[in-house]
Structure 1
């Protein structure tokens, strides 16, 4: 929480891809973000504790979360053993002062990992003191049917995780109402990936306000209910052709978050 009573607003380093983790900190400081979430990925800097700590100190920006390398294209980052990746993510979080590790549920083909995922996450939280905020995912759409690609499932509200993440782009693909998911999760909602999406099979990660998942209403719900976790902008700026264009998207996203996280006066709305 900030001194003004609203959640802190951070920037995910993935929002400036294909630029680097170092560039992400530079953009965040220039635009006015209050923290950074580090996506551990193919950028070598993102994998190095000392480099992340130095970037945080240089720019005066705290690291709000570490996103574990559990995407398809990061399957070989920090080895191939999934529990080892999570242990290293927790160790990095501890070293750089982050309280949260964001993690996706296992893919269906990771059967051994998935078998004890819920209990394993709880055990990691207890041993590390770090919150592992399990993120909502989505069914993969193939022709006229949905493919369930995650175990134990894509909706974290169906499982007894102590800490969870809602990603609005993922909610859009799943055609899942994020406010209703937040209500089901209650105090277990720890982390937000603020973005946007449409009724598309693609994980769009639009600038918030450019899709139709209801990003403004979702943020207003968070403000009304006193959400005290982290709000992190995670958008796709790969189509931006200049630094100025990318910075404009990041600035528009921050302004959207600030506007709609302002405390709502229920007597006038």
Structure 2
């Protein structure tokens, strides 16, 4: 069993970054963090690389939406090509580029699941030309449907090429009462990264038709909620990264991250 590297998803401190990027990065470094997971990085790779370097931080994983360009269009954002995305990832020194979200409507249809897997496999080929690997990050909508007796997420994974990785968000995989420990054992070495977060076991909010409100997730510092984090970490011995993330936190987000750092440090994850 290898010990994963400690990291934090910068999305957790998105508001602090917008207000004072240098101050936010300094506070993360002050908590003992040395690695971060970046997001929305393609258009600002050089700037972000320099900012991280000023604070002794590096990024080895990053989120980029390359499976659902319609999401970027909906928000008026630029749709980047795979080569543009992976060139920016190279510039930052990433190892793994992860798509963070495929809409709920695509997980109830077998053809759409197959198409999503094919797109990810195609991206893996392009990423390899840049010395990178790709992966997928789950929420809860992937686990809602069953197709011919097989869970939609398992069906998706069965169609992925062997070089495609998974980043399992433990909190979201447990939503709706899913057995995240069994899931991690089933996926085995596919799982190269974990999002470590805690809170109540809630129902899937992404298939409800109601706009998602992160404030309703009830997320708390790891070890303070209902998610079986200890067992989940033990069930993913091949994971290279243990990444702290909060979609929302009531209170000082840096205090929440500090508590998460302490929780993981106690397990030898640094």
| TM-score relative to the length of structure 1 | 0.74
Cα distance, 1:228 vs structure 2: 4.5
In structure 2, the CA distance between the partners of 1:228 and 1:236, relative to structure 1 (3 Å rule), is: closer
Q: 1:113 to 1:160 in 2, by over 3 A?
A: closer
Report how far residue 86 of structure 1 moved.
5.1
CA distance in 2, matches of 1:31, 1:72: 37
Equivalent positions of 1:189-204 (< 5 A) are: 189-201=191-203, 203-204=217-218
Aligned length: 238
Answering whether residue 258 of structure 2 is matched by residue 251 of structure 1, we say: yes
- Equivalence for 2:47: 51
CA distance in 2, matches of 1:208, 1:26: 22
Structure 2 match to 1:232: 243
Judge conservation of contact 1:204–1:236 (CA < 8 Å) in 2: no
Q: 1:177 to 1:113 in 2, by over 3 A?
A: closer
Query: Per the alignment, do residues 203 and 77 of structure 1 end up closer, same or farther by CA in structure 2, a change over 3 Å counting?
Result: farther
Question: Deviations for 1:233-264, whole angstroms, at most 9, x for unmatched residues?
Answer: 01145422xxxx332211110111122356xx
- Are positions 1:66 and 2:73 aligned together? no
Residue in 1 that maps onto 2:186: 184
Describe the superposition over 1:152-198 as per-residue Cα deviations: whole angstroms up to 9, x where unpaired.
94455454352101101211214222221111111111111111132
The 1-side partners of 2:90 and 2:233 are apart by 29
Gaps of 5+ in 2: 204-215
Report how far residue 18 of structure 1 moved.
Answer: 2.0
Q: Which moved more, 1:56-65 or 1:86-95?
A: 86-95
Find the residue that maps to 1:190 and give its secondary structure: strand
| 2:221 matches 1:207 | yes
CA distance in 2 between counterparts of 1:48 and 1:113 reads 32
Q: State the superposition RMSD in angstroms.
A: 3.3
1:76 aligns with 2:75: yes
Aligned to 1:134: 136
- State the structure with bigger RCO (CA 8 A, min sep 6), 1 or 2: 2
Preserved CA contact (<8 Å) 2:217 2:248 = no
- CA–CA separation in structure 2 for the residues paired with 1:103 and 1:118: 12
User: How far apart are the structure 2 equivalents of 1:104 and 1:85?
Assistant: 16
Contact 2:27-2:254 within 8 A present in 1 as well: yes
In 2, Cα distance between equivalents of 1:187 and 1:66:
19
Consecutive unaligned residues in structure 1, runs of 5 or more:
263-269
Q: 1:177·1:213 contact (CA, 8 Å) conserved in 2?
A: no
**Partners of 2:179 and 2:98 in 1: CA distance:** 21
Q: Is the 8 A contact 2:142 2:153 kept in 1?
A: no
